[in-house]
Structure 1
Amino acid sequence: MHNKLSLLLLAVFTLMLLNACKQEIPLVYSVECTKSVAPEEVATDTADLKIVAPLTDPFAWSNGQGRSEKFADWSRRRAEIGAEIQYYEIGPKPSRPDSIDAIYTGDSLTITITRNGQSLKLVSHIILPEGEGPFPAVIGIGKGSGSLPEKLFSERQIAQVPFQFWDVMAWEQKRGQEPINKLYPELTFMGAYSAWSWGISRLIDGRELVADEVPIDLQHLAITGCSFAGKMALFGGAFDQRIALTIAQESGGGGAAAWRVSETLGNVETLGRTSHLWFTENLFKFSKSVEKLPYDHHELMAMVAPRALLVLGNPDYEWLAEESGYVSCRAAQRVWETFGIKDRFGFSIVAGHPHCRLPEEQYPEVEAFIEKFLLGNTEVNTVAEIHPYPNVDYKKWTAWWGSNNPVFPKTELKNQSAEKIN
């Protein structure tokens, strides 16, 4: 009896200790970026980049000098990943300019950003619930709730704040001729996902400036979008740590899907097939050598950690490369698991519905993440691992992590050799 009581007390103490450690890891931050790393600190000439055929190790330092799985080191490692993505893929995301003004009139928030003697205006028509607030809020790409059903938010007293991305850069940009280029004429080469991420951050800046007038809880912000806007939501959440919850819906290649894995599939959005206008031309140097990229998109997702991320997929559309997204999600999941916060990351890949139309089967996952990370309901279950790929060997893509030997397991190498002989 005494031994059983001792074991019970030990279990309770261990659980309390784990919860205490978990609580030390923030759910969200009050600043756009907790740490920055200059691209020149991580960038390498393309010809000198090493080949990494499997998925890159998110815990390995960019200089090749070891790795760390300690959360205390994650801020630095996260910044390295962000610097690599900016250097090789999307171009630099400009920092906050000194001159930003915001006015809230009626339901309209108008933000004026001035730089280089030029101004850019962001307009957002905010939908506020009835009552005094402050209310959690979702930033929807294009409209208040993105492509998710509005009722998921309106029924929960959550404000909806649309991001009119065209105020910053058009869906198909004309390089050097977009609104953001007036402020940054030196960045004519920038990709749309850098520009749009900048715009999302400036929208949050504007909301902070009118905090006394607009009853929005700035500690409980979400962002969501679908398809190309799903990529936008993912980049926006990755590059602004003030966003507590990111919901990336059917984001495909250039979103949740890993460039390396997509190369092994069929008619999908690979690096060589994606839009040149969304990224920098620098990225397309890797069209036939994706294994030389020093990162992949499981690390883009990992940049959201330790905050919450839910990835939604739809395998009915081959172009979306959902199998690649699944493998990428499994790899990214390791980051949240390592930090003991697995409940903050989930994925739901469900067929049988039109593109960007959330089916009822996916409501529970979305509602759970909204409840926990916008409304603070800790009783809901946010461990979501829903997919149609039981026979996909996702572990082979990450088996090398921690070994300093970036190759597939021997069985995989034998299979590849046999295919070449045949």
Structure 2
Amino acid sequence: MQAKTFLLLLIHCLLCWSLSAQPPLVYTVEHTGAAFPPPVLPSMAELPVIQPLTDPFVWSDGSGRSTEFTDWVQRRAEIKAEIEHYEIGIKPEAGEVSASYAGNTLTVEVTVNGQTLTLTSAVELPDGPGPFPIVIGMGGPTGSLPADIFSSRGIARVTFNFAQVMAHTQTRGNEPINTLFPDQTDIGAYSAWPWGVSRLIDGLEIVAADLNLDLAHIGVTGCSFAGKMALFAGALDERIALTIAQESGGGGAAAWRVSETLGAVETLGATNSAWFRLGFLNFSNAVSKLPYDHHELMALVAPRALLVLGNPDYVWLADESGYVSCRAAHRVWEAFGVPERFGYSIVGGHGHCALPNGQRPEVEAFVDAFLLGDTNADTDVTIHPYSSVDHERWTAWWGTDDPSFPAADTANSQLIYFEPECATVGSNWQIVADDEASGGHYVTVNPAIESVSAAPTGSEDHIVINFTVEKDTTYYVFGRMNCPSANDDSFWIRVDDGPFAMINGLGTNGWEWARLNPSNLELTAGAHSLIIAYRENGALLDKIRISDYPYAPEGVGAEAINICQISTDTWSPASKAGFELRQNYPNPFSGQTKITFVIPEQAQVSLKVFSALGQELAELAGRVFPSGTHTVSLNTAALEAGVYRYALRAGDFLASRWMMVWSTGPPGVSRKVHCWGSAMASL
């Protein structure tokens, strides 16, 4: 029966398309693609990395690409399913809806499994016979737009009281909607609120004849978080003819991927978790693994009408990201031959959610065209201050099989690559050989150790990378990692003396790059330190890049500045079966340091010092030692300041560590490394 209903619906849609010669302006059902089976929805770990904006015309299974409008009903259903699955939670079912109107109030009752939720909305009807187009305002009769834009045009105004469905900062499982759907505690507000708008439209359909309402011309509008609400409502209900999303920011019109490259804006990791599906913030450091982005959220509105309003004066809104996202989304309307149904106006010089006089004509044009049916209204609206922004680089790959950016212009950027195994590596880390790793080795924590709840504090737990930046600006840290599952996809990260930040959700498919800093780093020119601590064992780290260039590297990246030679195929952990090589103390140091090692049995011991390039400089042991703990004092009078490695071999046990020598003595005095003698080590 479901298949038959869908077939009739699809035939109806195709007939409408062929008769009108243009895609419909609106539909009579909430979701035209409801009968299509869901697409493949891989786990986060299985999702591929796509750095640029995803191609909205590519089927979810990668089997092909279509820009034909006749395929859009199914492709749209795929995008909707992905957004619900990964981001907001599945929009609940409609339930049984009844409605009544009295005293300028619409009352809608929704019943599911014997439980009833009541929604009430104030309705402001125009004078005259009608039929009246309708605008539903998020939190107010016209959202944050001036009421006279609608009242002067004979448009009915309906308030959506969103708190009757879910609070702005929900308590999961204890919201009004949970009386109907007690098992859907994982959904975000942007699934619940659009459900409420849809049930309000159900109620309007029931009372439409009594109120003489024009159900073919319904609009929604809201601003800020309510702008996101309006956008999701319009995207998820095809009975809405016009969506006006005002200053919706991150989580609205802005693309998550693009926002990651900007400064202090609402990124995925900095948004309100209550608005989204439980677990969505696991993508905070893996945004490029989302199989969609918010240009596709906007595309769900196509071929219906959408107007996006921005305000670049409020940095948090990430309107540069919104602009790039709008340019990408517009491609969908263009493909269907109706580019005039999508517009964006990004204008500053006014308060948040306060429509300036200069933006009013664009709003009025869209209202006239898509709520009043004025075919002469000019809706060619593409106003923005971002002429220097290269939006095309985000979509240049569309229509190809290579989801990558064009060749990067990094001429004015500082890109610093590091091999973690060549940094200062704590004894709880292993250095392991791998032909696919940059430099042939990667680092990972000892498999018996992890620290999930808090960052470990000992030097043996850390990898320290010292680096120098050239200018005061924003920097980005990327790591090339292999994190095969959700149980081994995180690290603790600290820069200089700041607090450790948990970087979770780094799941990859083999060796891939992912961003490691939770927020943009505002660094001053000069020396800094990146400290990496283990969190979950099994996370493999191959390479680090620190740069003022915001986009991830490709392949293995450029050559590291701290290349070292590791003479064995695999460097063992610094402790194993009673053997242990401890970190020298003090470290960094000048003058003298001590190196301690432990052997559980008598053994021939070699303890050698190497330069950062792998040149052997000295043997500090070279004889048989009895079982027990032994300490070597190392005098560095003949060493230049720099980074060195010391390596212990005792029987089959092999381990190494890094140490750093500070500069000592008068400036300009050269410290030679070739004049080592046996007197440099004493027991």
TM-score where L is the length of structure 1: 0.93
Q: Which residue of 1 aligns with 2:365?
A: 368
| 1:419 counterpart = 2:412 | no
Q: Which residue of 2 aligns with 1:27?
A: 25
Equivalenced residue count is 402
Q: Deviations over 1:120-149 (max 9, x none)?
A: 011011000001111001000011100000
Deviation of 1:39 (Å): 7.9
Higher relative contact order (CA 8 A, sep 6+): 1
Q: Which residue of 2 aligns with 1:11?
A: none
CA distance in 1, matches of 2:75, 2:303: 13
Deviation of 1:20 (Å): 8.4
CA distance in 2, matches of 1:260, 1:36: 28
Q: Deviations over 1:210-260 (max 9, x none)?
A: 122111100000000000000000000000000000000000000000000
Q: Which residue of 1 aligns with 2:5?
A: none
For the 8 Å contact 2:98–2:110, the answer to whether it is kept is yes
- Which of 4, 16, 34 does residue 36 from structure 1 map onto? 34
For the 8 Å contact 1:124–1:163, the answer to whether it is kept is yes
Equivalences for residues 236-315 of structure 1 within 5 A: 236-315=233-312
**Structure 1 regions of 5+ residues with no counterpart?**
1-18
Q: Which residue of 2 aligns with 1:80?
A: 78
**Secondary structure at the counterpart of residue 70 of structure 2:** helix
- Which of 193, 202, 205 does residue 205 from structure 1 map onto? 202
**Structure 2 regions of 5+ residues with no counterpart?**
1-16, 418-546, 548-683
**Secondary structure at the counterpart of residue 176 of structure 1:** coil
CA distance in 2, matches of 1:164, 1:350: 29
For the 8 Å contact 2:22–2:337, the answer to whether it is kept is no
Q: Which residue of 1 aligns with 2:61?
A: 63
Do the aligned partners of residues 277 and 91 (structure 1) sit closer, same or farther apart at CA in structure 2, a change above 3 Å counting?
Answer: same
Greater CA drift, 212-221 or 20-29: 20-29
Q: Deviations over 1:337-374 (max 9, x none)?
A: 11110000000000000000000000110000000001
Deviation of 1:410 (Å): 1.4
For the 8 Å contact 2:38–2:78, the answer to whether it is kept is no
CA distance in 2, matches of 1:187, 1:47: 24
Deviation of 1:100 (Å): 1.1
CA distance in 1, matches of 2:244, 2:123: 19
For the 8 Å contact 1:52–1:292, the answer to whether it is kept is yes
For the 8 Å contact 1:29–1:241, the answer to whether it is kept is yes
CA distance in 1, matches of 2:175, 2:37: 24
Do the aligned partners of residues 176 and 20 (structure 1) sit closer, same or farther apart at CA in structure 2, a change above 3 Å counting?
Answer: closer
Deviation of 1:417 (Å): 8.4
**Secondary structure at the counterpart of residue 275 of structure 2:** coil
Q: Which residue of 1 aligns with 2:182?
A: 185
CA distance in 2, matches of 1:283, 1:325: 20
Equivalent residue letter for 1:394: H
- Which of 145, 162, 167 does residue 148 from structure 1 map onto? 145
**Secondary structure at the counterpart of residue 213 of structure 1:** helix
**Secondary structure at the counterpart of residue 272 of structure 1:** helix
Deviation of 1:21 (Å): 8.3
**Secondary structure at the counterpart of residue 68 of structure 1:** coil
**Two-structure CA RMSD over aligned residues (Å):** 1.6
For the 8 Å contact 2:99–2:109, the answer to whether it is kept is yes
CA distance in 1, matches of 2:416, 2:330: 33
Q: Which residue of 1 aligns with 2:128?
A: 131
TM-score where L is the length of structure 2: 0.58
Q: Deviations over 1:282-322 (max 9, x none)?
A: 21111001000000000000000000000000000000000
Equivalent residue letter for 1:318: V
Do the aligned partners of residues 62 and 206 (structure 1) sit closer, same or farther apart at CA in structure 2, a change above 3 Å counting?
Answer: same
For the 8 Å contact 2:299–2:332, the answer to whether it is kept is yes
Deviation of 1:197 (Å): 0.7
Equivalent residue letter for 2:415: E
Which structure has the highest helix share of the two? 1
Do the aligned partners of residues 77 and 197 (structure 1) sit closer, same or farther apart at CA in structure 2, a change above 3 Å counting?
Answer: same
For the 8 Å contact 1:38–1:83, the answer to whether it is kept is no
CA distance in 2, matches of 1:63, 1:353: 45
Equivalent residue letter for 1:419: L
**Secondary structure at the counterpart of residue 277 of structure 1:** helix
**Secondary structure at the counterpart of residue 103 of structure 1:** strand
Deviation of 1:411 (Å): 3.3
CA distance in 1, matches of 2:294, 2:244: 15
Do the aligned partners of residues 416 and 278 (structure 1) sit closer, same or farther apart at CA in structure 2, a change above 3 Å counting?
Answer: farther
Q: Which residue of 2 aligns with 1:45?
A: 43
Equivalent residue letter for 1:303: L
Larger Cα-atom Rg: 2
Equivalent residue letter for 1:85: I
| 1:215 counterpart = 2:207 | no
Equivalent residue letter for 2:341: R
| 1:114 counterpart = 2:111 | yes
Deviation of 1:208 (Å): 0.5
Deviation of 1:42 (Å): 2.9
Deviation of 1:404 (Å): 1.2
